[in-house]
Amino acid sequence: MEAVLEYWPSLARGLLVTVWVAFCTISGAALGALVLGPLRLSKSPAVRISSMLFIEIIRGPSALVWLFWVFYVLPLMPWVPRLSPVMASIIVLSLLGAAYGAEIVRGGIEAVHRGQTDACHALGLNKIQSLTKVVLPQALSQIVPAFGSLARDMVRWTSIVSFVGVQDVLYVANNVRSQTFETATVFCLLAALYWILCLVCAAAFQAIERALPLNRALRAARLRVQIAPGADSPAGVAP
């Protein structure tokens, strides 16, 4: 164990790289999902089918296959620039997260009552205004918890970036293992670090969920009911 702790500064730098890749990946996936999700519900058959095909194509191969393709194969084409390992990893994982998150966004939007959209049309709001100002804010209460679960998976997905040379915590841990031969200790420490990162990610999304306007309004309504006069009276009459 002492031999492993000597490499703690290197492990800390690798952990920072993992955190950075995870943050950029989750942010990119969230933005992509908010675009792809509504496109899946478009009234235009061409847009709807195109977005569905794009999602299924991205979700088909494994993340590692996409990562190898983007990092090793695409640069062989003369007009495609060679990406850095970190940039290629962020792009691939963001697209994968967006493809999975799009279905979460679609389900959240469909959970909002159709009458909300009809009311928006009656008020003269266009489709984009209806989505961004009325439908999506209500759907977020359904989207955020499910996307939080996906985000924890995406934190674990970052472990594949070491295969293209990103010096993340797994890359550094493998180097430490090869130099100290403390395989069990190194991988137990690595598992603990990923577990902590997942807990932090879960706590962040729980905070976002509590901060949503609709959830705040629901908590305030429950609080008013609890403190209303006579709420604790058996007959419902104030003493």
Mean pLDDT is highest, among 133-147, 184-198, 219-233, for 184-198
Reported as a pLDDT band with limits 50, 70 and 90, residue 239 is: very low
How far apart CA 138 and CA 155 sit, in angstroms, is: 27
How far apart CA 183 and CA 172 sit, in angstroms, is: 13
pLDDT of 228 above 70:
no
Structural domains in the chain? 2-226 (1.10.3720.10)
User: Cβ(158)–Cβ(25) under 8 Å?
Assistant: yes
Percent over 90 (pLDDT), the chain = 35
Higher-scoring residue by pLDDT: 140, 92: 92
Reported as a pLDDT band with limits 50, 70 and 90, residue 186 is: confident
Give the mean model confidence (pLDDT) for residues 136-156: 88
Average model confidence (pLDDT) across the chain: 84
Q: What is the model's pLDDT at position 100?
A: 93
Tell me the one-letter amino acid at 226. Q
Rg over alpha carbons for the chain, rounded to the nearest Å, is: 23
Give the mean model confidence (pLDDT) for residues 81-95: 92
Tell me the one-letter amino acid at 128. I
- What is the SS3 assignment for 238? coil
- Residue 68: partners with Cβ closer than 8 Å, 6 or more residues away: 163, 164
Higher-scoring residue by pLDDT: 205, 80: 205
Selection from 37, 60, 40 nearest residue 50 by Cα: 40
Q: pLDDT tens, 6-59? A: 777 888 899 999 999 999 999 999 999 999 988 888 888 898 899 999 999 998
